[in-house]
Amino acid sequence: MPSKALQGVLRPEWPAPAGVGAFMSTREGGVSAAPWDGANLGDAVGDSPQAVDTNRARFAAAAEGGTPVWLRQVHGTRVLRLRAGEALPAQPPEADAVVTADPGLVCVVQVADCLPVLFAASNGRAVGAAHAGWRGLAGGVLENTLAEVCALARCEPSDVLAWMGPCIGPESFEVGRDVLEGFGVDPDGPADPAFAWRPRADGSARWLADLPGLARRRLELAGLRQISGGQWCTVQDRSRFFSFRRDRVTGRQAAAVWLRG
């Protein structure tokens, strides 16, 4: 692989149509210096703008020359629809998911512990990407993205593929009562398999949350039948992934999906 290309990218193992391209970057193959060392793609984390520009150019090249559309993510549930021929905004639009039915526009979400989810209609007519932290997930960002993909592709949820990328894993995601309540789980009620009771040494209430498991549950309830990925932990794999929970000051990796021309 050329020295000026992204390295260590992840490719979804899903039965997507040949006209769908998708990958996720890791921290390998970039030019940023510590503590963003590697292929940092975040432009609001304190890294050198020149380094970020170089890393993003390599990211675009890995997307087969398509045009990546970067979002200003706010842990919300808004889905942006990209259309060919429309001028791209001068500043990143505020949204936490993006969909398109037009070739050459690359749907991108950035993460550093939150869960990236890529979508592809099995008929090859539409794709989408969603950024799902616990707030967005509980608020319905995945369901909103799925609905947009189905509308564009004129298909049912059972005809959509989903791939979950690396995120904070179930052995690392310590949460409080607010997260359980956000998912409609009574902290004092029956145990939920997505939350493992793990009190702190001082006895305060804490749980370990299974973010990919929660996402899979919601996707299945929404009608998806083909869901893959979700087995990587960004916190535990320091050499491959940026993690905000682990390092606080760190970079961002990104997941991308697009339609080929």
Res 252: pLDDT: 98
DSSP string, the chain: --TTS--S-B---S---TTEEEEE--STT--BPTTSTBT---SSSS--HHHHHHHHHHHHHHTTT-EEE--B--SS--EEEE-TTSPPPSS--B-SEEEESSTTEEEEEEESSSEEEEEEETTSS-EEEEEE-HHHHHHTHHHHHHHHHHHHHT--GGGEEEEE--B--TTT-EE-HHHHHHTT--TTSS--TTEEE---TT----EEE-HHHHHHHHHHHTT--EEEE---BTTT-TTT---HHHHSS---EEEEEEE--
* Mean per-residue pLDDT of the chain: 96
Q: Is the pLDDT of residue 105 over 90?
A: yes
pTM here is 0.96
142-190 tens-digit pLDDT: 999 999 999 999 999 999 999 999 999 999 999 999 999 999 999 999 9
Lowest-pLDDT range, 7-16, 60-69, 83-92, 213-222?
83-92
Walk me through the domains of the chain, giving residue ranges and CATH numbers.
Answer: 20-168+224-259 (3.60.140.10)
Task: Identify the pLDDT of residue 1.
Answer: 37
Percent of the chain predicted with pLDDT > 90: 92
Tens digit of each residue's pLDDT (9 = 90 or more) over 110-141: 999 999 999 999 999 999 999 999 999 999 99
